[in-house]
Structure 1
Amino acid sequence: MIVFPTIELQGGKCVSLTRGRLEEPSIWHVDPVQTAQSYASAGASFIHITDLDAVAGEGNNDELIQEIVQKAGSSVQLGGGFRTRQRVEEWIDKGAGRVVIGTLAVQDPTTVQELATRYPDQIVLAVDVFQGKLMTEGWRNAGAMDPADFVRAYDSAPLAGVVVTDIDADIGDQEGQLGVISGVAAATRHPVIARGTVRSLDDISRLKYVANISGTLVGRALHAKDIDLAEALDVAQPVPEPKAEFQ
């Protein structure tokens, strides 16, 4: 399983959100570029970055993100405000290893299918769920489509994966949260990346045994030092199955 250390940017600062509330960020007083470099040094193969200003449609952190892409030392999976084909292609050209698309995938599935075909294994679908409904426009609007039906519609696309967030359970009942994420995971053939479920190393251990979950985003727990990234990466490694002894 892949652990994606996560950096959420708002106004050039590292932040964390509670239940997707853009107006109530927790601010971490760390340098974003140095933080990304430290994640790479710990062994992370991918770093996930979300531009919350782009999510809100209130500017962006493009220059800072470009610096992270160039200096981090790990591949970057980038999400936040990708609502046009041009912006997706622009960031792939700038070196983003993967681009995460949510609202555009709901509003213009043909374009996203075409992008996935043109950039195989570089497009990631974002599925943000609140009270069972698919959310768009920076988690502010509920879509009409069921989350499971939404991911099924992309079964034929060569996606790199699907990031699933249960916004409502961000700090709530973890069993219920895993139920939502595993339900979406069961509806798609693509590998699923769980978001917002990890608060301890035990949570990573548990996710390893949920069918079709191949990764997890970890942000707040790393900033708060509840989890050491090197230990998390070690826990996420597959455990060799016991071999039968033949006589």
Structure 2
Amino acid sequence: MRIYPTMELQDGRCVTLDKGRLDAAMIWHVDPIETARSFAAAGAEWMHLTDFDAIEGRDTNAELVEQIIRAAEIPVQLGGGIRSRENVERWIDKGVGRVVVGTLAARDPHLVKELAAHYPDQIVLAVDVWRGQVMTEGWRNPSAFTPEAFLEAFADVPLAAVIVTDIDSDMEDLEAQLGLMSGLAASSRTPVIASGVVRTVDDISRLAYIHNISGALVGRALFRKTLDLSEALNVATRAHEPVAQLQ
């Protein structure tokens, strides 16, 4: 299983959100570029980057995002406000490894299917779930899709991955969260990256044994230091190693 250390940007700063509330972001006083470099130094093979300003329709972080792409030393999976063909093509031309689309997929699924065919293994579908519905527009508006129907609509599309986010991830019932991930992973023909369910290294161990979970986004736990990235990477790598049987 692959760990994607995750950085979220707002007004040029690293932030984390509580249940997707853009108006109540927790600000972390760290340098975004140096933080991206630290992900690579710890051994990460990819990083995930979300631009919250782009979700709001502003390009104030665009230059910083480009700097991170150049400086990270590992491929960047970029999401946030990418809602047109031009935006997808722009960021791929700028060097991102993958582009994440959610609202665009709900609005214009045919375009996303076309883009995925043109850029195989570079388009990622975001399935952001709140109380059984797929949310769009930065988690603010419910779509007409259930997560199961959304996945089925893209079942035969050559996507790089599907990111499933449990927006209500602060609820105490971890079993319910893992149940959501497990159910959606089982119904997806594309490998699933789990988001919003990792707080400690034990959560990674549990995710690693869910069928079709190929990775996990880990952000807030890293910034809060409830999880060490090197340890997380080690646990994810060793999860399925064969264990010698005692004679």
TM-score higher than 0.5 here? Answer: yes
2:228 equivalent in structure 1:
228
Structure 2 residue matching 1:50: 3-state secondary structure: strand
Q: Distance in 2 between matches of 1:218 and 1:85?
A: 28
Q: Distance in 1 between matches of 2:144 and 2:215?
A: 27
- Structure 1, 234-243 or 83-92: larger mean CA deviation: 234-243
- Structure 1, 124-133 or 178-187: larger mean CA deviation: 178-187
1:106-145 to structure 2, matched below 5 A, reads 106-145=106-145
Query: CA deviation digits over 1:13-47, x for unaligned, max 9?
Result: 00000001110101100000000000001111101
User: Is 1:196 matched up with 2:190?
Assistant: no
1:28 equivalent in structure 2:
28
1:2 equivalent in structure 2:
2
Change (3 A) 1:82 1:3: same
Would you say how many aligned residue pairs link Structure 1 and Structure 2? 245
Change (3 A) 1:70 1:171: farther
1:6-85 to structure 2, matched below 5 A, reads 6-85=6-85
Q: Distance in 1 between matches of 2:13 and 2:245?
A: 52
2:216 equivalent in structure 1:
216
1:187 equivalent in structure 2:
187
Identity %: 58
Q: Distance in 2 between matches of 1:191 and 1:55?
A: 25
Deviant stretches of 4+, over 3 Å:
242-245
Query: CA deviation digits over 1:50-86, x for unaligned, max 9?
Result: 0011112244411001000001111000000010010
Checking the alignment, whether the CA contact within 8 Å between 1:127 and 1:165 is kept in structure 2 is: yes
TM-score (norm 1): 0.96
One-letter code aligned to 1:231:
E
One-letter code aligned to 1:206:
R
Give the superposition deviation at 1:244: 7.8
Q: Distance in 1 between matches of 2:243 and 2:197?
A: 29
Q: Distance in 2 between matches of 1:128 and 1:122?
A: 19
Change (3 A) 1:56 1:174: farther
Checking the alignment, whether the CA contact within 8 Å between 1:20 and 1:167 is kept in structure 2 is: yes
Q: Distance in 1 between matches of 2:25 and 2:172?
A: 17
Give the superposition deviation at 1:185: 1.1
Query: CA deviation digits over 1:140-180, x for unaligned, max 9?
Result: 11011111111111111110000001112335321111112
Q: Which runs of 5+ in 2 are unaligned?
A: none
Give RMSD over aligned pairs. Answer: 1.4
2:147 equivalent in structure 1:
147
One-letter code aligned to 2:241:
P
Give the superposition deviation at 1:243: 6.6
- Structure 1, 2-11 or 220-229: larger mean CA deviation: 220-229
Q: Distance in 1 between matches of 2:24 and 2:157?
A: 36
2:240 equivalent in structure 1:
239
Q: Distance in 2 between matches of 1:64 and 1:182?
A: 35
Checking the alignment, whether the CA contact within 8 Å between 1:18 and 1:171 is kept in structure 2 is: no
Q: Distance in 1 between matches of 2:219 and 2:14?
A: 10
Give the superposition deviation at 1:241: 2.6
